[in-house]
Amino acid sequence: MEKNIYKPIKCEVLDNIKESPTINTIILKPYEEFSFLAGQFASFTVPGIGEAPFTPSSSPFDKEKLEFTVMKVGRVTEKIHQLKKGDIVGVRGPYGKPYPLENFKGKDVLLVGGGVGLAPIRALFLALVETYKNYNKIVFCCGARTPQDYIYKELIFDEWQKLCEKIPLSFRITVDKKDENWKYMEGVVTKTLDGLDMDIKNGVAIVCGPPIMMKFTTLKLLEIGFAEKDIYLSMERKMYCAVGHCRHCMIGDLFVCKDGPVFTYEQLKDKPNIWA
């Protein structure tokens, strides 16, 4: 019999970590092999509640476990936040097109992540670090509303920064509103794009964050000279089937589930309501 396209893989919850007041990272152990490439997504089933699409935030090279960083915004994500060690959930996928790492070869790679948008960027970042020799340099711009809203605090403020000594990597970190202990920039994430030390003409930019952040970041990137085809956006839409049948996730004639979720700005610029 053919494999049923809606069959989830059983996964056990290993841990559920609080990242910020509204964001958790759920660590899963899949009972069957589940491999993905950075940027691809999966549909996460909370049994009896519903299903929602997320891009894994763990390293694509880690075959033992699978992590999702999820913001609590609705019915399904609220239940995901309540999951406990030992609970069984479902995951099906991976779906969609990954970040085209081969297009980044020999280039200056700029990552721009805001809020929970740092989740897919984390998987990409880990993949880039693993293959860092392929790229000229990596510049990682991070933003969040306040220092408390940052996810991956230990990684961003400590562990990952240590990598800068070993590989051509630099960080530009900001918050919209700082507190007394904050030692990085203050201002919205587009501010980190001022005075970038990179070869923009030979650069690619990968952006993920809330719609408003993606919009203004894209406009800024265009302004400082990035080509439309070199700006990669991770898009999000209401989604059910994840396989191009149910048509909920369409942006014009493009399917976020099949043609995306990673698109270049060039692909999207003439499509309806892309910043919703």
Partner 1 sequence: MEKLYISLTDWIKFLRGKIEERIIYAPIDNEGLLFYEILNEGNIEKVVYNRARPVEPLKLFLYPFKERTYPELENIPQIVVIGPASCDLKGTEILDRVFKDSEFKDPNYFKRKENTLIISIDCKNPYKTCFCTVVGVRPYPEENYDLNLSFIENGFIIEIGSEKGRNFIGEDTRFYNVTESQIKILNEERKNVIQKIEEINEEYNLKNFENLKGMFQKEYWEKPVDVKNCVSCGSCTSNCPTCVCFLLEDTSEKDAFKKVKVWDSCLFPGYAKMASGETPRPTLYERYANRLLCKYWYMKENFGMFGCTGCGRCISGCIGKIDKRKVLSEVLREKLKV
Residues found near partner 1 in the complex (CB under 8 A): 2, 4-8, 10, 45-52, 73-77, 88, 90, 211, 236-238, 240-241, 243-248, 250-253, 258, 270, 272-274, 276
Tokens in use for 40? 């691809």
Contact status, residue 111 vs residue 206, Cβ threshold 8 Å: yes
Q: How far is the CB of 187 from partner 1 (least distance, A)?
A: 24
Whether residue 185 contacts residue 172, with contact meaning beta carbons closer than 8 Å, is answered with yes
Residue number, 158 or 276, with CB nearest to partner 1: 276
CB of 89 to partner 1, least distance (A): 9
Closer residue to partner 1 (CB): 222 or 243: 243
User: From the CB of 252, what's the least distance to partner 1, in Å?
Assistant: 6
Q: Which helix (H) or strand (E) holds 79?
A: helix 75-82
Please give the backbone phi and psi of residue 172, each rounded to the nearest 5 degrees, phi first: -135, 110
Q: Which is nearer to partner 1, 76 or 129 (CB)?
A: 76
Q: Quote the least distance from Cβ 246 to partner 1, whole Å.
A: 5
Dist CA 14 CA 111 (whole Å): 29
Beta bridge partners of 15: 27
Is the Cβ of residue 45 or residue 55 nearer to partner 1 in the bound state? 45
> Which residues have CB under 8 Å from 45's CB, separation 6+?
8, 51, 89, 90, 91, 92
Task: Please identify, using beta-carbon distances, which residue of 73 and 167 lies nearer to partner 1.
Answer: 73
How far apart are CB 34 and partner 1 at their closest, in Å?
A: 15
215, 209 in Cβ contact below 8 A? no
